[in-house]
Chains A and B, each alone.
Chain A
Amino acid sequence: MTVVDVRIELKKGVADPEGSNTKKTLESLGFKGIDSVRTVKVFEITLDAPAEEAKKHAEEMCRQLLANPVIQKYSVVVR
């Protein structure tokens, strides 16, 4: 079994209300020096395939479902 981490994040320039709202709330709780907060989604996918193939599968999953290329980019890391 191969475990891949699929990381979905917003492209640069796409506003992230959840991130900025969280930043504001953290600051209101007294946390200082926060430069930015961005939300990132990670899917941990366990596949019955060798590492190289698993990575390819996962990338195809991103194209077909996990990421919307208009706003999101993805990266796949095999553990």
Chain B
Amino acid sequence: MSRDLLRRRNTSFELYDVSVLSAGDSELAEISSTLSLSLSLDEMKVIRTYFTKEGRDPTDIEVQALGQAWSEHCCYKSSKPILKEFVFGIDRDDVLSRGDAGVMVFDDDYGYALRIESHNHPSAIEPYGGAATGIGGILRDVVCMGAQPIGLADPLCFGYPDRKGDLPPGVKHPRYLMGGVVSGIRDYGNRCGIPTITGGFFFDERYTGNCLVNVGCLGIVKRKDLANNFAGGPGEVMILVGGRTGRDGIHGVNFASRDLTETSQDDSRGAVQLGDPITKEPVMHACFEVNEKHLVTGMKDLGGGGLSCVVGEMALAGGCGADVDVDKVPLKESGLAPWEIWVSESQERMMVTCKPDNVAKVLEVFALWDVIATPIAKTTSVQRMRLFMNGEMIFDMDLEFLTGGPVYVRPYALPSVPDGSKEKFPDLPSNKEVILTLLSDPNVASKEWAIRQYDHEVRASTAIHPMVGKMNETGPGDASVLMPVPGKWKGLAAAIGCNPWFTALDPYNGGKSGIDEACRNIVAVGARPNAFTDCLNFGNPERPERLGEMREAVRGIGETAKGLGIPIPSGNVSLYNEAAGGRAILPTPMILACGLIDDVRKAITADLKKEGSCLFLVGSTKREMGGSLLFRKFGGSDGKVPGVDVARAKELMDRLLRAMDSRLVLSCHDCSDGGIAVAVAEMCISGGIGAELDLTAIGGLEEGVKLYSESNTRWIAEVDGKNAEAFSDAMGDGATCIGITKGASLKIKGARTDIPVTELRKAWSDPIWKIMGGAGDE
């Protein structure tokens, strides 16, 4: 440093006073960068003003805590105004909590929890550990609501795994990243005994430099045991439980709030933690036990920002302050400086608060589970955070100032959006070639390679599985359905919706499409969409065009959810997703939707059930080719991105669900990537039955548009011939007969198309096995 900005205090441990009061602007910037605070000059100036009022320089641990609390990851300083404007306001009286996870009413006795978040940057550096700790974090978010995790959902985005050619410096091959991430999810999820029931894979060159690993989790909680994530008031004890604290995972949140660089690999190793599912599992059990016995007043997971964030947030939300004995924190190794203990993101840790009378009982429960539990702090009646090390005060700040954080209304630029007037439709080869090509694109092709490595049946409650159809000859499902309460038939459905290609071309309609797709998946199994949680993955918000993308996408999500009357009780924002050199990812607003079905025995799967049924298209097909898989594969451009008529979507969902409840539908599949052609082909694959399509009833469009348009709010439904009229009536003007199930090949009338189901199956089944390697390729 240019001069003595850090002054070592004469203590037995490592502590520095930071010369902020006398620092000029360039020195403030130097402090931020030397201490890896990731704070801007303006933020450093605010800190200088605060400590000038306090009449002293801050300690290193104080500025480190501010660096954590004010990171994008912890305080959403760039995204909050946008979220507030569009998504926070959707309310309904069955929202039970908007805590670390959202909690919705499941039935009279139970609530279900939902939450999704990102673990992108750590996974790009160390895919196995990054993904595994992502699972650990999302499980804890659900556990600290008092909810038993019951299902995981993991949508992932990578570059093409069979990518050829040189990679940019510092970037790992997508195949390597995908292998590592799937192994991490598998080992962590399977070992914790939580089924991975849904997810998605999105492949595009623009994810090569910055993969996305989003992890979602569902839980179930007795409504009377629903936990708070904050202290019950002053005079309580904070008990740190679970893993010991070490140097792993220092500065993870700052790392998540910056672009990746060519040297991220070496700079950031400290920011990637190692998970330990076998510590986690007893931590979960013990937390449930103290919660069910109502021994604790609050529980919170130690995620981004470690102790520094969790103690502050639990105290502030509980209307109190906290006095902390930092020296009591159990450590993995000796010699950690106080600030390292304070910001470490070591895994498998939770904080619980309780009344002093209950401390002994709480500690007894954790002891039985062989889990370390240590009282480290007391809540106080002044809203200040004070830290002590061997009795010496090393930290004394106003809690509101520390935890509140700055909020920015940053400039944004709205994108220009194709209206379809300049659409260039590609020259297509035969339908057979097109359909086989679309089926074998990794975005559509079978993900069985990953799905069967995840235990999707543990807990014995999976009623509708991620792959459907004949045993060991399955095809793709829509939503998975769980029966969370033993002995009850009520089901909870979960599915992902997201179309990053739509969002890149037209963020507003891309946002709407994600909600529509998630709902389509839920409705396709016979469940009613009930709540969303979203993970908003975008680029650097300091670039106006990136922030504009996000703003428009969030507007689309918010308007659609509001129009459908469906709340978003939890969510997460991940910004700065850019590769070295500033190339942004596709804007990726990932939606995890949950739905309810009163009786899972009425649930429906996508596999064709028998020959001689009628195939109906539900919804309208339009000339909306923008961002479609067809255009991406065959070189079309400037198409209009599909929009959503929310009122119409609501009506069609209601009608379709009523028809399903009356048992008029044999199978149903959502119509998305690759349009009607791919949707029907997939139903043939999972059912092992052919179909004859006749699209003349869809008027006014050329064949290529009818077959491959990706217009929203559409499903394919198989209906027994004897029920065709009743179904038609039930759907009003919403259903069009487009063919029958028959034979062993997919035929399209008028186009002389005839593709054996065995060929469809092969085209769809093999690609990812071939790329990733598998038993069949010896």
Q: What is the CA–CA distance of A25 and B179 in the complex, to the nearest angstrom?
A: 11
- For the complex, is B773 an interface residue (Cβ under 8 Å from A)? yes
CB nearest to B777 among chain A residues: A24
**Residues of A in contact with B (beta carbons under 8 Å apart):** 21, 24-25, 28
Q: What is the CA–CA distance of A28 and B773 in the complex, to the nearest angstrom?
A: 10
Contacts of B773 in A (CB 8 A): 21, 24-25, 28
Q: What is the CA–CA distance of A21 and B773 in the complex, to the nearest angstrom?
A: 8
Q: What is the CA–CA distance of A38 and B739 in the complex, to the nearest angstrom?
A: 55
CB nearest to A25 among chain B residues: B773
Q: What is the CA–CA distance of A4 and B773 in the complex, to the nearest angstrom?
A: 37
CB nearest to A24 among chain B residues: B773
Contacts of A25 in B (CB 8 A): 773
Which 4 A-B pairs rank lowest in CB-CB distance, beginning with the nearest?
Answer: A24-B773, A25-B773, A21-B773, A28-B773
Secondary structure type dominating chain B contacts: loop
Q: How distant is B77 from chain A, measured CB to nearest CB, in Å?
A: 42
Q: How distant is B473 from chain A, measured CB to nearest CB, in Å?
A: 24
Q: How distant is A52 from chain B, measured CB to nearest CB, in Å?
A: 32
Q: What is the CA–CA distance of A28 and B173 in the complex, to the nearest angstrom?
A: 12
Q: How distant is A55 from chain B, measured CB to nearest CB, in Å?
A: 30
CB nearest to B774 among chain A residues: A21
CB nearest to B771 among chain A residues: A28
Q: What is the CA–CA distance of A1 and B773 in the complex, to the nearest angstrom?
A: 46
Q: Which of B758-776 contact A (CB under 8 A)?
A: 773
Contacts of A28 in B (CB 8 A): 773
CB nearest to B773 among chain A residues: A24
4 sampled A-B residue pairs with Cβ under 8 A: A21-B773, A24-B773, A25-B773, A28-B773
Q: How distant is A20 from chain B, measured CB to nearest CB, in Å?
A: 9
Contacts of A24 in B (CB 8 A): 773
Q: What is the CA–CA distance of A28 and B161 in the complex, to the nearest angstrom?
A: 13
Interface string of B352-390 (1 = CB under 8 A from A): 000000000000000000000000000000000000000
CB nearest to A20 among chain B residues: B778
Q: What is the CA–CA distance of A29 and B773 in the complex, to the nearest angstrom?
A: 13
Q: What is the CA–CA distance of A25 and B773 in the complex, to the nearest angstrom?
A: 8
CB nearest to A17 among chain B residues: B775
Q: How distant is B341 from chain A, measured CB to nearest CB, in Å?
A: 27
Q: How distant is B371 from chain A, measured CB to nearest CB, in Å?
A: 24
Contacts of A21 in B (CB 8 A): 773
Q: Which of B308-332 contact A (CB under 8 A)?
A: none
Q: What is the CA–CA distance of A24 and B775 in the complex, to the nearest angstrom?
A: 12
Q: What is the CA–CA distance of A25 and B183 in the complex, to the nearest angstrom?
A: 15
Q: What is the CA–CA distance of A76 and B773 in the complex, to the nearest angstrom?
A: 35
Q: What is the CA–CA distance of A28 and B162 in the complex, to the nearest angstrom?
A: 11
Q: Which of B659-701 contact A (CB under 8 A)?
A: none
Q: What is the CA–CA distance of A28 and B164 in the complex, to the nearest angstrom?
A: 12
Q: How distant is A16 from chain B, measured CB to nearest CB, in Å?
A: 14
Q: How distant is B167 from chain A, measured CB to nearest CB, in Å?
A: 13
Q: What is the CA–CA distance of A24 and B778 in the complex, to the nearest angstrom?
A: 10
Interface string of B108-139 (1 = CB under 8 A from A): 00000000000000000000000000000000
Q: How distant is B771 from chain A, measured CB to nearest CB, in Å?
A: 10
Q: How distant is B207 from chain A, measured CB to nearest CB, in Å?
A: 21
Q: What is the CA–CA distance of A28 and B771 in the complex, to the nearest angstrom?
A: 10
CB nearest to B175 among chain A residues: A28
Q: How distant is A8 from chain B, measured CB to nearest CB, in Å?
A: 20
Q: What is the CA–CA distance of A1 and B628 in the complex, to the nearest angstrom?
A: 67
Q: How distant is A26 from chain B, measured CB to nearest CB, in Å?
A: 12
CB nearest to A28 among chain B residues: B773
Q: How distant is A21 from chain B, measured CB to nearest CB, in Å?
A: 7
Q: What is the CA–CA distance of A50 and B773 in the complex, to the nearest angstrom?
A: 48
Q: How distant is B768 from chain A, measured CB to nearest CB, in Å?
A: 15
Q: How distant is A75 from chain B, measured CB to nearest CB, in Å?
A: 28
Q: What is the CA–CA distance of A25 and B774 in the complex, to the nearest angstrom?
A: 11
Q: What is the CA–CA distance of A24 and B773 in the complex, to the nearest angstrom?
A: 9
Q: What is the CA–CA distance of A67 and B178 in the complex, to the nearest angstrom?
A: 33
Q: How distant is B201 from chain A, measured CB to nearest CB, in Å?
A: 20
CB nearest to B775 among chain A residues: A17
Interface string of B325-353 (1 = CB under 8 A from A): 00000000000000000000000000000
Q: How distant is A79 from chain B, measured CB to nearest CB, in Å?
A: 23
Q: How distant is A72 from chain B, measured CB to nearest CB, in Å?
A: 22
Q: What is the CA–CA distance of A21 and B449 in the complex, to the nearest angstrom?
A: 15
Q: What is the CA–CA distance of A25 and B180 in the complex, to the nearest angstrom?
A: 13
Q: What is the CA–CA distance of A21 and B453 in the complex, to the nearest angstrom?
A: 15
Q: How distant is B777 from chain A, measured CB to nearest CB, in Å?
A: 9
Q: How distant is A39 from chain B, measured CB to nearest CB, in Å?
A: 15
Q: How distant is B745 from chain A, measured CB to nearest CB, in Å?
A: 35
Q: What is the CA–CA distance of A25 and B777 in the complex, to the nearest angstrom?
A: 13
Q: How distant is B29 from chain A, measured CB to nearest CB, in Å?
A: 42
Q: How distant is A41 from chain B, measured CB to nearest CB, in Å?
A: 17
Q: How distant is A31 from chain B, measured CB to nearest CB, in Å?
A: 14
Q: What is the CA–CA distance of A24 and B772 in the complex, to the nearest angstrom?
A: 11
Q: How distant is A7 from chain B, measured CB to nearest CB, in Å?
A: 24
Q: Which of B582-634 contact A (CB under 8 A)?
A: none
Q: What is the CA–CA distance of A21 and B777 in the complex, to the nearest angstrom?
A: 11
CB nearest to B179 among chain A residues: A25
Q: What is the CA–CA distance of A28 and B777 in the complex, to the nearest angstrom?
A: 13
Q: How distant is A77 from chain B, measured CB to nearest CB, in Å?
A: 27
Q: How distant is A24 from chain B, measured CB to nearest CB, in Å?
A: 6
Q: What is the CA–CA distance of A28 and B179 in the complex, to the nearest angstrom?
A: 14
Q: What is the CA–CA distance of A24 and B770 in the complex, to the nearest angstrom?
A: 12
Q: What is the CA–CA distance of A78 and B773 in the complex, to the nearest angstrom?
A: 40
Q: How distant is B14 from chain A, measured CB to nearest CB, in Å?
A: 29
Q: How distant is B181 from chain A, measured CB to nearest CB, in Å?
A: 16
Interface string of B421-453 (1 = CB under 8 A from A): 000000000000000000000000000000000
Q: How distant is B182 from chain A, measured CB to nearest CB, in Å?
A: 14
Q: Which of B719-778 contact A (CB under 8 A)?
A: 773
Q: How distant is B778 from chain A, measured CB to nearest CB, in Å?
A: 9
Q: How distant is A76 from chain B, measured CB to nearest CB, in Å?
A: 27
Q: What is the CA–CA distance of A24 and B777 in the complex, to the nearest angstrom?
A: 11
